Amino acid sequence: MKFTKIAALTLSLTMVGTAVAACSNEPEPVSSDINIISTQGQNSGAATDATEAVNAAVENYAFNYNGYNFIVDTTMDETKLPDNYDVIQTASCAGVGFATMYTTSSFEIELRLGDSNVITRIMFHDDTVSTAEGIRIGSTMEEVREVYGEPSIDTGMSLAYLKGSCKLQFDFKDDGKVEFITYFGTQDYQ
């Protein structure tokens, strides 16, 4: 399980670095370009409007953590994260601010560039968390199909389901078990 967490974090950091480097012909950022801010126990911020969250959950797939729905394309409420999390910020080469990720041992939440507090992606690191419908890393492709039905996109090694402004994607290992679960916001899949 430790390897899966390290691999998921490495993949995430690589994706952020690639996205930043893709903005121009500049090389990928080096470690000095990445600002890691530890925020353990620093849960402060305004709560999300409850009505907005309920409406967004009906229209989109939601990741429920400790009774709170994290939903792509809605405002992030960091007070709902576990006490131990890190914030990783990387400067944008396009000059639109920072790429920001909240990381925990089980999942990460990435915020949209320019909209500093809007969730654009949620990715699971291990099997201690699940989708609101009960699918987790290690579930089988058959279990995913039983819960979600026929996918909007089927590549053979991944299944994706579209709902509202969310794309929920399951990537599988060769043995047919879920390796990655990712929620993408509108701007990431259109």
In whole numbers, what is the pLDDT of the chain averaged over residues?
Answer: 76
Residue ranges of domains in the chain, CATH in brackets: 2-42+62-189 (2.60.460)
pLDDT for res 1: 46
C-alpha distances out from residue 110 to 118, 122, 130, 154, Å: 8, 6, 18, 25
pLDDT for res 147: 97
Nearest to 103 by CA among 20, 162, 32, 15: 15
The set of residues, in sequence order, having a beta carbon less than 8 Å from that of 129 and lying 6+ positions away, is 63, 65, 106, 107, 136
pTM for the predicted model, two decimal places: 0.70
Based on the number of CB atoms within 10 Å of its own CB, is 134 exposed (0-12), middle (13-18) or buried (19 or more)?
Answer: exposed
Of the ranges 72-76, 110-114, 136-140, 165-169, which one carries the lowest mean pLDDT score? 110-114
Asked if 97 and 113 count as a contact pair (C-beta separation under 8 A), the reply is yes
Nearest to 178 by CA among 108, 147, 101: 147
- What does the pLDDT look like over 31-57, one tens digit per residue? 444 444 333 333 333 344 444 444 455
Kind of pairing, strands 166-172 and 178-185?
Answer: antiparallel
Task: State the DSSP H helix or E strand holding residue 147, giving kind and residue range, or none if neither.
Answer: helix 141-148
- The band of 27, judged by pLDDT with boundaries at 50, 70 and 90, is very low
- What does the pLDDT look like over 135-149, one tens digit per residue? 999 999 999 999 999
- What does the pLDDT look like over 151-187, one tens digit per residue? 999 999 999 999 998 999 999 999 999 999 999 987 6
For the residues 17-22, what does the mean pLDDT come to? 44
92 versus 2: which is more confidently predicted? 92
pLDDT at residue 79 greater than cutoff 70: yes
